[in-house]
Structure 1
Amino acid sequence: MNASPRRKELTRLAAQLFVQEGFDRTTVRMLAQEMGIKSGSLFHHFKDKQEILAAVIEEGTQNALIIARKALDECAADPEIRLRTMARAHLETLFTDRNAHVVALFEWRRLDPEARAHLSHLRDAYEALWVTVIDDALEAGLIRGDRFLVSRFVLGALNWTVRWYDPNGPRSPDDLADELVAMIMPAST
């Protein structure tokens, strides 16, 4: 996809509008108005509204992958540290690029089949990072359970924070990540 600075800015504005209005209720006219351009000019940057949605989700998912890979590359090989690092990286992604991630979480089903197929590899790559970290934690005995269920539980809990977490509240994202990891680890005996 075209990665021009102008297109990135338009994608960011579209993400904000999709969060506020929802994909289905957002019109091309609303997008153009939010972006400060004429409706026809929008099609200079994007083929249609569907391509805008795909661009929002693609950019957010790529950013999540970059943040997670960098965090894992820079942390120790210890499975508990890697689990905490992934939880922190996930929350960092959600809170620094919130709109793109809310759109990816709640509007994925609105993608047409072609866009979904194109973007699935990014989502799968991100989930594969989690599976590796969870497998290591399971193997080390840090957590118990079925890998699929554990990964869905952890990602679901982390993703849901976009609905209730207040970054200005008493808990930092790191505290929140540490609390979540502590919840899934069995109590010491």
Structure 2
Amino acid sequence: MNDSPRRKELTRQAAQLFVQEGFDRTTVRMLAQEMGIKSGSLFHHFRDKQEILAAVIEEGTENALSIARAALEECDSDPEARLHAMARAHLATLLTDRNAHVVALYEWRRLDGQARAHLSHLRDAYEALWETVIDEALAAGVIQGDRFLVSRFVMGALNWTVRWYDPEGERSPEDLARELIAMLMSPRA
């Protein structure tokens, strides 16, 4: 894919419009107008609306993966610290790239089969990071439960913050991450 700065800016603007209008209601004409270009010029950067959606999700997922990997590299090997780092990284993704994240959450099903196949490795890699950290915490007795259920619970709770969390509110992302992980912690003897 073309990684030009212009294409990245167009992808960012498309993400915002997809969040506001939804993928199905967003037309090529609306995208071009939002981007400040003619409808035909849009096809210089993208083949079709489906490719724009795939670009939004790909960029957002790559950013989430990069932020999560960096957070894990910066923290020590303590399972609780790693859980906290992943939760904080996920929230950082929501705060720095909210629109792309929301599009990935709510419009994934709109991707055609080819785009889903192309992008599933990124989603799987992100989920694998979480599963590794959760496995470590389970093995250390830091948390209890079934890995599948714990991972779905954590991801669901973090993803839902796009609907209610106000970064200007009383809880910082750090506080929110700490509280979420504290809710998962096994009682200490």
The TM-score normalised by the length of structure 2 is 0.99
Distance of 2:157 and 2:74 partners within structure 1: 24
Structure 1: any 5+ residue segments left out of the alignment?
Answer: none
Q: How many residues align?
A: 189
Distance of 2:177 and 2:105 partners within structure 1: 19
Q: Which residue identity is paired with 1:105?
A: L
Match of 1:106? Answer: 106
Superposed displacement of residue 93, structure 1: 0.4
Superposed displacement of residue 155, structure 1: 0.4
Q: Percent identity?
A: 83
User: Structure 1, residues 145-167: CA drift from partner, whole Å, max 9, x if none?
Assistant: 11011000000000000000001
Superposed displacement of residue 186, structure 1: 2.1
User: Structure 1, residues 113-163: CA drift from partner, whole Å, max 9, x if none?
Assistant: 000000000000000000000000000001111101100000000000000
Distance of 2:2 and 2:128 partners within structure 1: 26
Distance of 1:54 and 1:135 partners within structure 2: 31
Match of 1:165? Answer: 165
Are 2:2 and 1:2 aligned?
yes
Superposed displacement of residue 48, structure 1: 0.1
Distance of 1:160 and 1:74 partners within structure 2: 26
User: Structure 1, residues 30-50: CA drift from partner, whole Å, max 9, x if none?
Assistant: 000000000000000000000
Structure 2: any 5+ residue segments left out of the alignment?
Answer: none
Q: Which residue identity is paired with 2:28?
A: V
Distance of 2:89 and 2:3 partners within structure 1: 24
Superposed displacement of residue 184, structure 1: 0.9
Are 2:137 and 1:143 aligned?
no
Superposed displacement of residue 188, structure 1: 3.0
Are 2:12 and 1:28 aligned?
no
Distance of 2:186 and 2:136 partners within structure 1: 15
User: Structure 1, residues 58-104: CA drift from partner, whole Å, max 9, x if none?
Assistant: 00000001100011011101100000000000000011100000000
Asked whether the 8 Å contact 2:141–2:186 carries over to 1, the reply is: no
Are 2:180 and 1:180 aligned?
yes
Q: Which residue identity is paired with 1:129?
A: L
Deviates more, 1:179-188 or 1:30-39: 179-188
User: Structure 1, residues 9-33: CA drift from partner, whole Å, max 9, x if none?
Assistant: 0000000000000000000000000
Aligned positions of 1:44-83 closer than 5 A? 44-83=44-83
Q: Which residue identity is paired with 2:35?
A: M
Moved over 3 A (4+): none
Supply the RMSD in Å over aligned alpha carbons: 0.6
Match of 2:124? Answer: 124
Distance of 2:187 and 2:98 partners within structure 1: 33
